[in-house]
Structure 1
Amino acid sequence: MTSPGEFFPRMHDESARLRVASLNLFSGRTSRGLPAGPEALAEAVGRLDADVLGIQEVDRDQPRSGGTDQTSVAAQALGAGWKRFEPTVLGTPGEPGWTPATGTSSVGPAYGIGLVSRVPVLEWHRLRLPPAGGRYPLVSPGRPPRLIWLRDEPRVALAAVLDRGVTVVCTHLSFVPGVNLRQLRQVRRWLEGLGVPRPVLVLGDLNLPLLPVRRSTGWTPLVSRPTFPARRPGVQLDHVLAIGLPPGSRVSGETDEGLPVGDHCGVRVVLELPRP
């Protein structure tokens, strides 16, 4: 684990530098599945020290996480003036009674993804992704781990157009094999037709390793290291990918295995774009 100062070396042109990161919050729990609290969440986000942060498995007003608005906690920890929480589930996922989110409802417990930014956001865009039908097995962390059967949840992709001429997209794809690949292709087609400024940086927990991600999109990976599980990562599920990266760009990417929140490693990239 490196400190922010060590990880982000001094660049010759501060105005061209953009630091982006992604973290699966695990609803504000530790890698062992224990509640961590908003202070630990703020510490984890602060250690990533990103200009733009994408977060997944985000709780808002959930009893299990103390009613915290976790997107707001992340924004405050970074000193970020722009934030957006995008719910995918109203209620508590994995428990009876939850329903798919169809808007940006600000009432009641919800779960989804978020983007927070220190850089001004000019536009927001959203793509909703349908879930698979039926129930599917998922390994729940614990001692010992246990197999549980869950309904797949709807997913969403959230894009922020920054005033630096860069677009950042956060998403969290299905854990169901094949469905996640289909959703990734939907995101690719959506971005091709959206007409947002390039480069585009796509980040998040894709629930897919690097090889099928590259083959199905052609996007450029900026990090290539295992990210899951956080304590002893063996597979890369979390990514930062670039579309339309201009020649002469400089990139440094890394993971952080030691964060106090999340069952995935944090992923972070420092990007220096050439002057026009």
Structure 2
Amino acid sequence: MRVATFNILHGRSPGAGVDIDAFAHCIRTLDADLLALQEVDVHQPRSGSVDLTAIAADAMGAVAQRFAATIAGTPGAVWAAATGAEQPGTAAYGVALLSRYPVRDWHVAYLPRIPFSFPMYLPGPNRVMMVDEEPRAALAGCFDTPLGTFTVASTHLSFVPGWNRYQLRRLSRVLAAFPGPRMLLGDLNLTGPAVRRWSGLRPLATASTFPTHQPSRQLDHVLTDHPRLRARRCATPQLAISDHRALMVDVELAPQPVSNTLSPCAARENEGEG
């Protein structure tokens, strides 16, 4: 079974625009059975006013798909925090979760947000900008897979140091209330040691995923609390879109419980398309 997480940068190629055919090709290339996407557009002019979740579902042959909006409106322009009650056809931005396996139910958890504007320091002299942190959410589904029933979640945490750890701790508590075993996939904006400490979950792979051309940090993760789930292979292919690499992991069940250590995937982190 292949699981993957990919921050798609709303389907955009760095330094270029959005090519829907290229986006669909990238999703087909991943060939994932369970796929978590972040920075997903729905009906946004910058991405051709299409539903990127639906396009991804068609490309991978998903039988179950769901999009959870974190923003209603246009990122970087006029927007409001999504409530989950937006009208159909509303321009939105958020996270998605897709599966080739049937889903039993869906859950959306909205995560704590910094409630005030704060300064963000940019490269260069006197480059300070006041920003409002965008809302964050996690989308979870309970799936019947060949390896058993799993609760799987897709999320994109804050880039603000400290706040993302707080969100991860909160999300871990939320997931603990759902049926196990569980997997958490997404762009956590945290590196490996912090992820292990604040989630209480076991990483299935260690591999640098950001930035795409010369990755030096792992911001994208596949985590689990299943004691027998292990990675048989992992890869971080460089695709035609996004400033992140996708992290894809082929998983299997070990005959005996595995230790709470990383799988030997690091040596293969650049396996795949380069």
TM bucket, shorter chain = 0.7 to 0.9
**1:19 match:** 2
Whole-Å Cα distance in 1 between the matches of residues 240 and 129 of structure 2? 25
The 8 Å contact of residues 227 and 255 in structure 1, kept in 2 or not, is answered as no
The 8 Å contact of residues 136 and 151 in structure 1, kept in 2 or not, is answered as no
Of residues 250, 254, 257, the one that matches 1:270 is 250
**Structure 1 residue 262: Cα displacement:** 1.1
Of residues 115, 137, 158, the one that matches 1:174 is 158
Superposed CA offset, 1:212-268 (max 9, x none): 11111221111101111111111110000111232xx44134332421111101001
Whole-Å Cα distance in 2 between the matches of residues 19 and 138 of structure 1? 39
Change (3 A) 1:117 1:148: farther
**2:53 match:** 71
SS in 2 for 1:233: coil
**Structure 1 residue 273: Cα displacement:** 2.4
**1:110 match:** 92
Regions of 4+ moved over 2 Å: 104-107, 135-140, 146-150, 252-257, 273-276
Whole-Å Cα distance in 1 between the matches of residues 31 and 128 of structure 2? 35
Answering whether residue 117 of structure 2 is matched by residue 134 of structure 1, we say yes
SS in 1 for 2:161: coil
Of residues 187, 195, 216, the one that matches 1:213 is 195
Taking structure 2 as the reference length, the TM-score comes to: 0.85
The 8 Å contact of residues 205 and 231 in structure 2, kept in 1 or not, is answered as no
The 8 Å contact of residues 5 and 246 in structure 2, kept in 1 or not, is answered as yes
The 8 Å contact of residues 94 and 151 in structure 1, kept in 2 or not, is answered as no
| Total equivalences in the alignment | 248
Change (3 A) 1:257 1:103: same
**2:262 match:** none
Change (3 A) 1:64 1:138: farther
Amino acid in the other structure paired with 1:269: V
Answering whether residue 238 of structure 2 is matched by residue 254 of structure 1, we say no
Whole-Å Cα distance in 1 between the matches of residues 62 and 174 of structure 2? 27
Whole-Å Cα distance in 2 between the matches of residues 250 and 259 of structure 1? 25
**1:29 match:** 12
Change (3 A) 1:138 1:160: farther
- Gapped regions of structure 2 (runs ≥ 5): 257-274
**Greater RCO, CA 8 A, separation 6+:** 1
The 8 Å contact of residues 72 and 81 in structure 2, kept in 1 or not, is answered as yes
SS in 1 for 2:212: coil
Q: Kindly, what percent of the aligned residue pairs are identical?
A: 43
Whole-Å Cα distance in 1 between the matches of residues 54 and 65 of structure 2? 7
Of residues 11, 14, 38, the one that matches 1:56 is 38
Whole-Å Cα distance in 2 between the matches of residues 170 and 250 of structure 1? 19
Superposed CA offset, 1:158-210 (max 9, x none): 1110123112110000111111110000111111223x131x11010001111
**Structure 1 residue 149: Cα displacement:** 4.7
SS in 1 for 2:231: strand
